[in-house]
């Protein structure tokens, strides 16, 4: 028995004639939205559950096999995983959402003020020292007196204002850092391109998306842990946790670089050191710029 031939249809988007479900030219699905609402709702939740299933199949290799997810994606084994950019967006929403809800927890901006000035720090490193005198203590709204003029005066006044409403400034800073982190992701891919020139930029971008997603998702868990375990909020404990997390990220990055770029351990280690130094400097500049910009317009 001969199977009936598939019906040939025309794509409503580009006009191409084809048989099947998807247009071979523009990729649009052969689907009419003029259907009963119940059918559309069932389809929506089907897509949602499919994403839910794929996210778990994506997170396991992301965490347990550094670089494995990137290698599979580059080599064409992509259908089982969440696309790299969508994974990054999911991780970014999770991390910065938790930061906003908890006030930052372990990674919350710290604002301290005294008669000598206001110090704003993030991750244990000061990002602004106000030279204000007479800054109002927390909870008061009196004006701050500042010495000097111009740029320094503006920043001093903003630092004093941040000290008067620390929670609001912390929320503003967390929101700004989400944009800064997004900016760092393609920059990291450019650095990878400089060290591994034989690969296309899109391959480095996929690597960067996966690495930054790995940074964000466990980071969100650390924030939650620091809220549930108040002992982690101390300065000594905070530095210890941040140092341990930095070591984990370094080891993860080394294994991922080896798995994706397939170079020797020595070459990978040397490039990792140079990459870490370059990225650390750039990230520091971006963080300082974001923090200063947030303070300036606060």
Helix axes 235-261, 265-296, angle to 10 degrees: 130
- Assess whether 193 and 117 both reside in one domain: yes
Share of the chain above pLDDT 70, in %: 58
* Domain-embedded: residue 273: yes
Nearest CA to 118 among 100, 144, 150?
144
* Domain-embedded: residue 53: no
Contact yes or no for 298/169 (Cβ under 8 A): yes
Encode pLDDT of 165-223 as tens digits: 666 777 777 777 888 888 899 999 999 999 998 889 999 999 999 999 998 888 777 77
- Assess whether 127 and 199 both reside in one domain: yes
- Assess whether 146 and 239 both reside in one domain: yes
Contact yes or no for 289/178 (Cβ under 8 A): no
Q: What share of the chain is helix, strand, coil (3-state, %, to 5)?
A: 65, 10, 25
Nearest CA to 228 among 93, 84, 105?
105
Q: How far apart are CA 224 and CA 105, in angstroms?
A: 7
* Domain-embedded: residue 47: no
* Domain-embedded: residue 110: yes
Helix axes 166-195, 84-102, angle to 10 degrees: 150
- What is the extent of the structural domain holding 199? 83-298
- Assess whether 23 and 141 both reside in one domain: no
pLDDT band at 5 (very low <50, low <70, confident <90, very high): very low
Tokens of 90: 């999911």
- Assess whether 12 and 158 both reside in one domain: no
Specify the higher pLDDT residue, 286 or 172.
286
* Total structural domains within the chain: 2
> Is pLDDT above 70 for 269?
yes
pLDDT at 290: 79
- Assess whether 11 and 140 both reside in one domain: no
* Domain-embedded: residue 101: yes
Specify the higher pLDDT residue, 220 or 25.
220
Specify the higher pLDDT residue, 5 or 231.
231
pLDDT at 141: 36
pLDDT at 237: 65
Encode pLDDT of 216-267 as tens digits: 888 777 777 766 666 655 566 667 777 788 898 999 999 999 999 999 999 9
Contact yes or no for 82/61 (Cβ under 8 A): no
- Assess whether 112 and 21 both reside in one domain: no
- Assess whether 184 and 290 both reside in one domain: yes
- Assess whether 270 and 129 both reside in one domain: yes
Average pLDDT for the chain: 74
Lowest mean pLDDT among 3-12, 46-55, 58-67, 125-134: 125-134
- Assess whether 145 and 12 both reside in one domain: no
> Is pLDDT above 80 for 65?
yes
- Assess whether 11 and 90 both reside in one domain: no
- Assess whether 248 and 120 both reside in one domain: yes
> Is pLDDT above 80 for 48?
no
* Domain-embedded: residue 72: no
* Domain-embedded: residue 50: no
* Domain-embedded: residue 49: no
> Is pLDDT above 80 for 26?
no
């Amino acid at each position: 028995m001969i199977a009936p031939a598939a019906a040939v249809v025309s794509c409503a988007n580009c006009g191409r004639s084809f048989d099947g479900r998807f247009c071979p030219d523009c990729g649009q699905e052969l689907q009419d939205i003029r259907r009963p609402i119940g059918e559309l709702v069932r389809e929506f939740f089907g897509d949602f559950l499919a994403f839910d299933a794929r996210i778990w199949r994506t997170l396991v290799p992301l965490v347990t096999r550094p670089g494995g997810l990137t290698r599979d994606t580059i080599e064409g084994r992509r259908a089982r995983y969440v696309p790299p950019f969508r994974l990054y967006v999911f991780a970014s929403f999770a991390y910065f959402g938790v930061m906003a809800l908890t006030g930052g927890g372990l990674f919350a901006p710290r604002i301290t003020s005294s008669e000598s000035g206001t110090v704003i720090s993030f991750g244990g490193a000061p990002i602004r020292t106000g030279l204000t005198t007479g800054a109002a203590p927390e909870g008061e709204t009196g004006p701050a007196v500042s010495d000097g003029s111009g740029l320094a005066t503006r920043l001093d006044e903003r630092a004093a204002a941040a000290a008067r409403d620390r929670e609001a400034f912390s929320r503003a800073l967390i929101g700004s850092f989400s944009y800064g982190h997004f900016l760092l992701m393609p920059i990291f891919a450019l650095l990878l391109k400089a060290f591994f020139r034989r690969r296309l930029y899109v391959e480095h971008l996929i690597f960067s998306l996966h690495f930054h997603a790995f940074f964000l998702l466990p980071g969100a868990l650390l924030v939650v842990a620091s809220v549930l375990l108040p002992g982690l909020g101390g300065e000594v404990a905070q530095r210890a946790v941040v140092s341990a997390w930095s070591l984990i990220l370094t080891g993860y990055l080394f294994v991922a670089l080896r798995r994706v770029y397939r170079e020797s351990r020595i070459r990978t280690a040397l490039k990792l050191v140079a990459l870490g130094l370059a990225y650390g400097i750039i990230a520091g500049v971006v963080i300082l710029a974001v923090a200063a910009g947030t303070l300036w317009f606060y």
